[in-house]
Amino acid sequence: MATVIRLARFGAKKRPYYHVVVTDSRNARNSGNVLDTVGKYDPMQPKGSEKRVVLKIDAVKEWMAKGAKPSDRVYKFLANAGLVEKKPVPVQTKKHLQSEKTLMKIKDKQEKLAKIAEEKAAAEAAAKAAAEAPAEEPAAETTEAVAE
């Protein structure tokens, strides 16, 4: 008999509550043909709460020694409890990256914005230089008049 450790749903509508049960893999999720209840999981509790996942560690170890395989979710609970090693995080594929065409469009747009910023800075510098130059010329004339 292939036994599994998995979640059986209890609780009201939109208020889930799960029992961590050991059952035959061929049974339905909530069939009632449960060999043992080895814990509880309340997803409505805050993530750091001790009441969120409660496991009977001795019972879990006993069933795993007998060959029971945990489901993916239960495996995560067991890994957090330190009973099994955490599964490695898979390497992300490149499908989430932007396409080459989109990257070229972004690069072109950045170059245009940089060019506009340079032109604006140059225009401001020229305007500033033009504003300072006439102010200096009358000052030079007054110094000549004082010298005579």
Quote the domain boundaries for residue 23: 3-81
Strand order in the sheet with 34-41: 53-55, 34-41, 15-24, 3-12, 69-70
Q: Is 147 part of a structural domain of the chain? A: no
Q: What is the pLDDT along the chain (148 residues), one digit of tens a residue?
A: 789 999 999 999 999 999 999 998 888 877 778 898 999 999 999 988 889 999 999 999 999 999 999 999 999 999 999 988 998 888 878 887 888 899 999 999 999 999 999 999 999 988 888 888 765 555 555 555 555 5
143, part of any domain: no
Number of domains into which the chain is organized = 1
Domain contains 38: yes
- Domain annotation covers residue 99: no
User: Going by C-beta distance under 8 Å and a sequence separation of 6 or more, which residues neighbour residue 8?
Assistant: 18, 19, 21, 23, 29, 30, 34
In this structure, is residue 28 part of a structural domain? yes
Tell whether 103 is covered by a domain. Answer: no
Asked, for residue 104, whether it belongs to a domain, the answer is no
**Is residue 40 assigned to a domain?**
yes
What CATH number should be reported for the domain holding residue 23? 3.30.1320.10
